[in-house]
Amino acid sequence: MATTREIRRRIRSIGNITQITRAMEMVSAAKMRRAQERVSASRAYSDRIRIMIAGLAGLTDLEEGAYPLLQQRPVERASIIVMTSDKGLAGALNSNVIRHTAEFIRDDIDGRTEIIALGRKGRDFFRKTQYPLTAEFVSLEDWPSIEDLRPVVDIAISDFTRGKVDAVYVANTRFVNTLTQRPQVQQLLPITPEFDDEAEEEVRDFIFEPSREAVLNGLLPRYVEVQIYQAMLDALASEHSARMVAMRNATENANELLDDLTLTYNKVRQTQITAEVSEIAAGALALG
């Protein structure tokens, strides 16, 4: 059985760990709320540009080759932008999105697959696999802007328009709520317009300069930017939420362990006191 000194040392160590996990939980909670606000703020722009593209696509003659980002072709080569975190301590967040990506590649893609890694965890994993890393982006800003993600957008658009790949996908974790984050893989390129009669009616009376075709061609790259930015915001909100829950669970487990150690310490101390009293009583009896 451990001595009282060893138990006290363990109690002190676990108490220090509890303070750290509680502080990390509070920091992650604040960052999660900020990420949620950014997701909500950008959603209006994302929805609006989607409606504009849907309306313009329905009113425009989509000639083959006129709109490179809309060009559909058999998928013989694909690229996947995998979004993970740079740090751990987020439960199964990173392993879930990596596993979901690997299953998607195995089940849905027949040709060659390349990886664009955003985040150290995904980069480290795919370095050990057969899938080549086209590019890697680690140690991004805490709150990356669209400008910070522009190199990712440029690589995705350039590879697709030059015919290096036939499709581009984004793998990330979608933030549902504090306790639920779902890994997902979405097609980024080619863009598939959602033809919508209401959207067409909304933009029918607009006057476009220089033309509808030019405006549509200008909106398509912006749409790709917004999709990647939205995916990153979802990934950030999911990361901070998962870390907050993980640190809360760690704090609760540490508190339970502290209760058990305190009880054990009291039992050991009581045993020592009882033994000392017995020795004193035995010595007094022997002297008498």
What are the residue ranges spanned by the domains of the chain? Answer: 22-245
pLDDT of residue 196: 62
Alpha carbon 228 to its chain centroid, in Å, reads: 12
Structure tokens at 48: 């609006």
Supply the pLDDT for residue 97: 92
Say if residues 227 and 188 touch (Cβ distance below 8 Å): yes
In degrees, rounded to 5, the angle at the alpha carbon of residue 164 between the alpha carbons of residues 182 and 78 is: 25
- Looking at domain 22-245, its CATH class is alpha beta
Q: Quote the CA–CA distance of 147 and 143 in Å, as a whole number.
A: 11
The whole-number pLDDT of residue 54 equals 76
Provide the phi-psi class of 119: left if phi over 0, else alpha when psi is between -120 and 50, else beta.
left
Given this model, what pLDDT does residue 195 score?
64
Contacts of 264 (CB under 8 A, 6+ apart): 2, 7
Query: For the chain (length 288 residues), average pLDDT per consecutive 10?
Result: 79 89 89 84 80 73 70 87 88 89 84 87 87 85 83 90 90 85 88 69 71 79 89 89 89 89 85 78 75
pTM above 0.85, yes or no: no
